[in-house]
Structure 1
Amino acid sequence: MNHLAKRVIRQTLNDKRSVMMILIAPLLLLTLIYLLLGDTDYVPVIVIEEATPQNLVTALNKQDIELIQEKQTITSPKTYLTDNEHVDAVFLYSDNGFDMTLREPSTKSSTAAKEIQAALSSINPASKMETSYVHGSTDQSTFDSLGYVFLSLFSFFMVFVISAMAFVKERSEGTLERLLMTPIKRSEVILGYTMGYSVFAIAQAILIVLYTVYILQMSSNGNIFLVLLVLLLLATTAVLFGATISVFASSALQVVQLIPFTIIPQVFFSGLISLDLIPYHLGNLSYIMPIFYGASAIKEIMVYGNGFDAIWGYLSGLLLYILVLYTINVRALKKFRNA
């Protein structure tokens, strides 16, 4: 028993990836979570009308907000928020009471609502306030609010794991080396693998979209075919991403060991946390995360009901990622055959 325990310890110490997985990875992930979920310096922007009672204006100015007073009457708060993307909330006073309009159920909206509620409570704790959203509703479930994130996460993660494991298996069994002994080009090898897994990516995209929308009744305000297009590009990116990761892994275990460093950080930049709320400008890291482009495009379609003109930038980001990863994989095959 003691000899077995010593052998396991020696084998683990000789595997640097395992040591990092056990000792270093938790520290790095906890540090990332601390930075992302720690105190934020985000200041919500709240708009009121100039006719708002002065005591309420004074109370609002005491809160940690950026207050804007509009001279003109705001007849449609939802239209105002749509036209002014930097504004988080419109807070109006009338003889009938108080009305607060927010963009959507999110952390940013919650921050703005909390500051408004604190100001209102300091004047009259019994005051009632009606709340409405431009996108979504007050009785909307968390699944409806964040379902688009999980669509992109599951689509990317599942395909990534399968493709990375498959590429490692092809190498470990010598299939890839034998394939490269034929006249086939390296570019054709990568393209063939990508096309093969894309068939399953299409099937997966159709299945999860139809299931979430028609079975789980997740609300969608846009074109379902655009969602399928985004998921297909995201899954294709995942195939190539998995192939790239497999270059640095010699076994399925090592692929698993790389997940905390390659996949888990992307979860935090997928839309679960509002990027504006992430301190130290870490939200800018989202632009190097493929899941960010997929999740943002799906949100534009399913939550905002926008069309191709609103998502073409995100689609371009995914296409650029596909091109870069494809080039990396083709060049990586040089170590198996120079041709």
Structure 2
Amino acid sequence: MIHLAKRVIRQTLNDKRSVMMIFVAPLLILTLVYFLLGDSDYVSTVGIEKDAMPGPLVSALEEQDLHVVELTSDDAQQAKEYLKDHQQVDAIISFSQNSGMTITMYEPSTKGSKAVREIQAAMASLNPAAKVNLSYVYGTQDQSMFDSLGYVFLALFSFFLVFIISGMALVRERSGGTLERLLMTPIKRGEVILGYTAGFGVFAVIQAILIVLYSIFVLKLSSVGNIGWVLLTMVLLAVTAVSFGAAISVFASSELQVVQMIPFTIIPQVFFSGLIPLDLIPYHLGNLSYIMPIYYGAAAIKGVMVYGDGFLQIWGYLLGLILYSFLLYLLNTQALKKFRKL
């Protein structure tokens, strides 16, 4: 038993990927979680019409951890339209003798919740019994967590599952000698990559359609925009996942090693997919989302399902997925050189 345990320990220590997954990956993920979910120095921006609000309330708001912006009467009355054009404003406060105070926000989010807490703190210092009405441009106060973040899981599940299947399958093709024998034929390296991408892409497309239709028609996930744009985004995201899995498989010699790379390749993307508002992330780490394919897919899906966007609003995200797939195609084509035996 002792000899067996020693052999397992030696084998594990000789596998650098296993060592990194056991010791490095947890520290990396915990550090990332610390930065993303720790205290943020973000200061909420609140718009008010100072002349229409009681002076003590204005003073109380300015004493809070808020950036107060003065609005005109028209902007305050058309709060929802103003927020559509000025998304840097987190909330607009309107006040009337009949309905009391109303806080209008763009959507239910962490940013909006932080603004509401500061506003309520200011109100409590004047009148602890005061009630506040909440209003949103998109979404409602009582919507479920699934309705709020369902678009993230659509993108995440599609990408993750296709990545795993394609990555493991390509490693299996290489370890079994199929890829080397294929490269000994006159077929071009680019055609090999396109063939694998097209083959796995068929299943990726079917999976994308199945996930979207099931989520919307069976699970009743709300969608304001055209489902067709959601399907197109899911298909592009799935194709990108195939290319991403192929790229990762180049650095893996077994199916286990593909799994070992998940903490470094997939999990960080989860945090930058839209679960956390990017401008709440300190040290400008939110900019890392632009190098992560899941971000582009989740942002496009959110635009369609939550905001009702069309092609003119999401084309940038779709282009990002296309460019990502193209760059991965070039990378995978070059990587096949080391497997081609001349």
- Work out whether the TM-score is over 0.5: yes
Which of 227, 232, 242 matches 2:230? 227
Deviates more, 1:195-204 or 1:299-308: 195-204
Task: State the Cα distance separating 1:252 from its structure 2 match.
Answer: 0.6
Give yes or no for the alignment of 1:15 onto 2:18: no
Name the structure 1 match of 2:77.
Answer: 75
Task: State the Cα distance separating 1:338 from its structure 2 match.
Answer: 6.7
Name the structure 1 match of 2:4.
Answer: 4
What amino acid is the match of 1:67? Answer: V
**Deviations 1:89-112 (CA, angstroms, capped at 9, x unpaired):** 011110121111111111111111
What amino acid is the match of 1:83? Answer: D
CA distance in 2, matches of 1:54, 1:69: 13
Name the structure 1 match of 2:263.
Answer: 260
What amino acid is the match of 1:183? Answer: P
CA distance in 1, matches of 2:292, 2:209: 24
Which of 175, 199, 215 matches 2:202? 199
Q: Does structure 1 retain, via aligned residues, the 8 Å contact 2:49–2:71?
A: yes
CA distance in 1, matches of 2:17, 2:212: 37
Q: Secondary structure at the match of 2:23?
A: helix
Name the structure 1 match of 2:331.
Answer: 328
**Deviations 1:285-313 (CA, angstroms, capped at 9, x unpaired):** 00000000000000100000010000001
Task: State the Cα distance separating 1:205 from its structure 2 match.
Answer: 1.1
Give yes or no for the alignment of 1:112 onto 2:123: no
Name the structure 2 match of 1:60.
Answer: 61
Name the structure 1 match of 2:31.
Answer: 31
Identity level (%): 68
Q: Secondary structure at the match of 1:66?
A: strand
**Deviations 1:88-145 (CA, angstroms, capped at 9, x unpaired):** 1011110121111111111111111111111111110100111111000111111000
Q: Secondary structure at the match of 1:93?
A: strand
Which of 92, 95, 101 matches 1:93? 95
Task: State the Cα distance separating 1:181 from its structure 2 match.
Answer: 1.3
Task: State the Cα distance separating 1:71 from its structure 2 match.
Answer: 3.3
Moved >6 Å (runs of 4+): none
**Deviations 1:218-242 (CA, angstroms, capped at 9, x unpaired):** 1100010100000001000100000
CA distance in 2, matches of 1:262, 1:83: 35
CA distance in 2, matches of 1:328, 1:277: 33
Q: Secondary structure at the match of 1:222?
A: coil
Matches within 5 A, 1:114-263: 114-263=117-266
Q: Does structure 1 retain, via aligned residues, the 8 Å contact 2:183–2:341?
A: no
Task: State the Cα distance separating 1:72 from its structure 2 match.
Answer: 2.4
Gap regions ≥5 residues in structure 1: none
What amino acid is the match of 2:162? Answer: V
How many residue pairs match? The answer is 339
CA distance in 2, matches of 1:235, 1:132: 36
Task: State the Cα distance separating 1:182 from its structure 2 match.
Answer: 1.3
CA RMSD of aligned residues (A): 1.0
Q: Secondary structure at the match of 2:222?
A: coil
